[in-house]
Structure 1
Amino acid sequence: MTTRHWTSPEDVIESLRRKWNSGRYLAAAAQGHPFEPISVPLKGPTSTDVNRHYSKALEWAQSWAAHHHPHMRIQTKTIGGHNNTPTNTIPIRIWVDTLHQLVTLLQTTAEADLFHALHAATATSDPALTAWMAAHPMKVLKAAPHWQRLIDTVAWFRNHIAAPVYLRQIDVPGVDTKFIEAHQGILGELLDHSLPADRIHREAPKNDLAARYGLLSKPSYVRLRHLDDPPGPYSELTVRTTELTTAPPGTHTVIVLENEITYLSLP
């Protein structure tokens, strides 16, 4: 093993940060599970490496001195002592024993405090959402600046059981169409978690909030031209597709076209 393969403190921090970014530790805390100490093995010099590269091995071992890493517990072992070789103690594994040590080490205390504050506040205002939050803490943190408006919007959907309205008519302070469109991904997840099964049209995609959760959708229209001469009081009409179930009175032939210019160029 060459010196470049020996595990550095920076390697361990990177490994711990990947674990943190998965959200597993905040999720466990929110679900009431005790913190399980984290173990990260260290790749270090062998007895042969120590004999051949003593100064580099010593420098590596000193980089793992306990006083440099107050938030880690460093496990060591003794190598050498065979065939008249000297014995040396080297670190082989680090442990992070508490959540406090982890967030201090990674400088994520503010993230942890923010998530716990949002989780506690939501447990009071809308407890139905806390299980989803506990399962997706990093999504909650990403949405933290807008969290209150998101849960207010979910509450509006849950409580609105009157006649369907358009998306623009959602009556939540600070929530408009642009807000909903910008956060439709997380809103879809929250609504799927929160709404009764009979309020969710699961055949509709999650990014189509209107169709999936029973709002009115913008109607589609068909343009009509009357090709007789004279055409009557209007040269063109536009009607809702849902209302065009039969041909207009007096019409015997209908030409259906997709291309607009072709439609306009008919004599």
Structure 2
Amino acid sequence: MNWTTPADLRDQVQKLWDRGLLLSALAGGEAIFPRRLTLKGPGSRELSECFVDVRNWIAQLAGAAGPYRIAWRSVNHRVLGANQIPAEIWIDSLEDALGLLGKRRAAEKFAALVALTRERQPELIPWLTKRPLRSLELADDWSRLLDIVAWLRNHARPGIYLRQIDLPGVHSKFIEGLRGVLGELFDLVLQPQAIDATTTGVAGFCRRYGFQDKPLRVRFRILDSKHALLPTNTDQDITVTQETFAQLNLPVAKVFITENEVNFLAFPPVVDGLVIFGAGYGFQNLSAVHWLQDVAIHYWGDIDTHGFAILNQLRGTFPQARSLLMDWQTLLVHRTLWGIDSHPETRDLQRLSPAETRVYNKLRQNHWGDRTRLEQEKIGFDCLVEVLEKLSRGDLEQA
């Protein structure tokens, strides 16, 4: 018998709580009471055949009534005569719903947040209406969040680091941990000119609201001693800000990008050469380096679907980029060192050369086996030396 029980009724109201509908009403959201709950009871045949069970079911519902109201109906049965059975179940008020769930204290806390917000930042009431449960989670921090909102309203696009905000009880880790929430709040109160609409998401928080961000950095090695930047005989392994790197305009003709740090450190000398330690997807640290547009760029990544996806992305910024040691011959020579690409890329890549596309398609189609992958650090060093020699002679074919 699948008849509605008091626990089922409570579950229905709990779902309203979980959706935030009960609390949002306290902040001016939609009023949803009185509300009829779903009720499933016995049919005519069950009234005859399971009368004892029906009587117990009625007693169970009636015994738990109080937070909810039962609307009764009379049933005239040819054997049992006239009987009253539940026809509808209603929750008449928000207070009744909160009492049923034991959430009155939580609702009082939320109501206090609403009152505080109406007093200090009334433009944020829609956020409380939309995100009531999240605001309850932040109840202990809410006053500080309002302080930060008020501060930024008075110091639009401040041009300082988050660490420099001087508010009692507020530190940079607190702000960084709640950037998602603060961004939603800022968007509700700041003037359009105080927001950089071209940047979104947590990663773009500082730029969007005019704070100083950690500078992007570029790590590189000079592969030709005659172009050394440091007056030492040590390895020219240098890390600078993206802005500094963009202004160097180094007199090199060939730039190599590798994703593996050991490959970066072991990369052999190359006349007029430089190697950059890449960082997987994303080339924000290189996109503004305009002098790279005028040099040959060689990308050395893993021979797997993601390696080609990164190459495809790199070509969106530097169309002249060529792949290095990412051909099918290199892959097959190192068959015993293959691994598995745990989450293969499957989309079409529009910026690959025909030869690269053939390798990529065979990888995503499992032509050589299930999710084949060859990590770049497993490629023999002699293969790198050989391909660099071919490159220096000018007889390296486009992959």
TM bucket normalised to smaller: 0.7 to 0.9
| 1:16 paired to 2:19 | no
* Aligned partner letter, 1:90: I
> What secondary structure does 2:100 align onto?
helix
Higher relative contact order (CA 8 A, sep 6+): 1
Match of 2:239 in 1: 238
Is the Cα–Cα contact under 8 Å of residues 129 and 190 in structure 1 kept in the other structure?
yes
Residue ranges of structure 2 left out of the alignment (5+ in a row): 270-399
TM-aligned CA deviation for residue 97 of structure 1: 1.1
Is the Cα–Cα contact under 8 Å of residues 29 and 129 in structure 2 kept in the other structure?
no
* Aligned partner letter, 1:194: V
Q: Sort the Cα spacing of 1:212 and 1:107 in 2 relative to 1 into closer, same or farther, 3 A.
A: same
Match of 1:99 in 2: 94
Match of 2:360 in 1: none
> What secondary structure does 2:89 align onto?
strand
Query: Which stretch shows the higher mean deviation, 198-207 or 10-19?
Result: 198-207
Instruction: Determine which of 128, 142, 154 is the counterpart of 1:147.
Output: 142
Is the Cα–Cα contact under 8 Å of residues 199 and 207 in structure 2 kept in the other structure?
yes
> What secondary structure does 2:41 align onto?
coil
Is the Cα–Cα contact under 8 Å of residues 162 and 211 in structure 2 kept in the other structure?
yes
Match of 1:195 in 2: 190
> What secondary structure does 1:74 align onto?
strand
Is the Cα–Cα contact under 8 Å of residues 28 and 129 in structure 2 kept in the other structure?
yes
Match of 1:215 in 2: 211
Question: Residues of 2 paired with 1:162 and 1:206: CA distance?
Answer: 17
Is the Cα–Cα contact under 8 Å of residues 47 and 80 in structure 1 kept in the other structure?
no
Deviation string, structure 1 residues 161-192 (Cα, Å, up to 9, x no partner) = 36401122222222223222322221221122
Is the Cα–Cα contact under 8 Å of residues 41 and 92 in structure 1 kept in the other structure?
no
Residue ranges of structure 1 left out of the alignment (5+ in a row): none
TM-aligned CA deviation for residue 204 of structure 1: 2.2
- TM-score (normalised: structure 1): 0.86
Is the Cα–Cα contact under 8 Å of residues 6 and 64 in structure 2 kept in the other structure?
no
Question: Residues of 2 paired with 1:244 and 1:229: CA distance?
Answer: 18
| 1:50 paired to 2:47 | yes
Question: Residues of 1 paired with 2:158 and 2:32: CA distance?
Answer: 48
Instruction: Determine which of 93, 99, 108 is the counterpart of 2:103.
Output: 108
Match of 2:69 in 1: 73
Query: Which stretch shows the higher mean deviation, 120-129 or 29-38?
Result: 29-38
Match of 2:199 in 1: 204
Deviation string, structure 1 residues 27-79 (Cα, Å, up to 9, x no partner) = 223217656201113111122112101111110011122x5422221111122
Is the Cα–Cα contact under 8 Å of residues 157 and 211 in structure 2 kept in the other structure?
no
Matched residue count: 261
Is the Cα–Cα contact under 8 Å of residues 149 and 185 in structure 2 kept in the other structure?
yes
Is the Cα–Cα contact under 8 Å of residues 34 and 93 in structure 2 kept in the other structure?
yes
Identity %: 33
> What secondary structure does 2:215 align onto?
coil
Is the Cα–Cα contact under 8 Å of residues 46 and 79 in structure 1 kept in the other structure?
no
TM-aligned CA deviation for residue 247 of structure 1: 4.5
Q: Sort the Cα spacing of 1:240 and 1:169 in 2 relative to 1 into closer, same or farther, 3 A.
A: same
- TM-score (normalised: structure 2): 0.59
Match of 2:352 in 1: none
> What secondary structure does 1:172 align onto?
coil
TM-aligned CA deviation for residue 147 of structure 1: 0.9
> What secondary structure does 1:78 align onto?
strand
Match of 1:59 in 2: 56
> What secondary structure does 1:257 align onto?
strand
Deviation string, structure 1 residues 190-238 (Cα, Å, up to 9, x no partner) = 1222222222223323212112212111112234545326955245343
Match of 1:170 in 2: 165
Instruction: Determine which of 178, 184, 195 is the counterpart of 1:183.
Output: 178
Is the Cα–Cα contact under 8 Å of residues 72 and 96 in structure 1 kept in the other structure?
yes
